[in-house]
Homo-oligomer: A and B are copies of this chain.
């Protein structure tokens, strides 16, 4: 009833709106690498189906139903990523593009089975929350590593957004989820940080990287 193509539009629209509050034809167009007129007519079609709120020249929004559909696809995507990572031994940088396809499989038993075999995981291999079967998604309240201060000790919880390149970079630096990071120093000029973790002392991470690492606070330096 809802095509693979439509599902991909819904997901992008969901990601954009949940990030910036609203989405535009132009942004969707860029994300999906599909020309604006095509996106425009698809938005109208999805509006027709009751999944998108469309008004000429206004920002785009998902209806409640559209939002639910989107999160259920994201659920399948993240469960799949976790399965590929945990049960099949793929790296966290390899799972996304496979999940991008498997998320469209219509077979509830299949995803239920993965969920069971995984022990009902709460997050995917990049630390993003897995929506529940009703499409409800836990809002994590992590902070960006780039917003922390020298002396803070934090736990590395998620990468967001997680490009394949960034994930490879983090793998090279032996940075994995759950690690305790000690912020040794923050360079005021460019925001780069000097971090200690594992047996590594004072590894430097650029601000560009630090912005994408989400952490939870473990201890804060008395100030």
Interface flags, A95-138, vs B, CB<8A=1, else 0: 00110011001110110011001000000000000000000000
**In the complex this chain forms, how many copies of it are found?**
2
Given A89-B113, A117-B88, are A101 and B94 also a contact pair (CB < 8 Å)?
A: no
User: A142 at the A/B interface (Cβ < 8 Å)?
Assistant: no
Say yes or no for A169: interface residue by CB 8 A criterion: no
Smallest Cβ distance from A97 to chain B, in angstroms? 7
Which of B90, B102, B105 makes the CB contact (< 8 A) with A113? B90
Which residues on B sit within 8 Å (CB–CB) of A110? 84, 98
Minimum Cβ distance to chain B for residue A3 (Å) = 11
- Which residues of B are found within 8 Å of A106, using beta-carbon distances? 101
Complex Cα distance, B79 from A113, in Å, reads 18
Chain A contributes a number of interface residues (CB within 8 A of B) equal to 18
Residues in B whose Cβ lies below 8 Å from that of A94: 109
Q: Which residues of B contact A113 (CB under 8 A)?
A: 88-90
Residue of B nearest to A117 (CB): B88
Residues of B within 8 A of A117 (CB): 88-89
Q: How far is the CA of A90 from the CA of B89 in the complex (A)?
A: 20
In A56-104, the 8 Å CB interface with B consists of: 84, 87-90, 94, 97-98, 101-102
Query: Could you show 20 A-B contacts with beta carbons less than 8 Å apart?
Result: A84-B110, A87-B87, A88-B113, A88-B114, A88-B117, A89-B113, A89-B117, A90-B109, A90-B113, A94-B109, A97-B107, A98-B105, A98-B107, A98-B109, A98-B110, A101-B105, A101-B106, A101-B107, A102-B102, A102-B105
Which 9 pairs show the lowest CB-CB distances between chains A and B? A98-B107, A101-B105, A98-B110, A88-B113, A102-B105, A88-B117, A101-B107, A101-B106, A94-B109
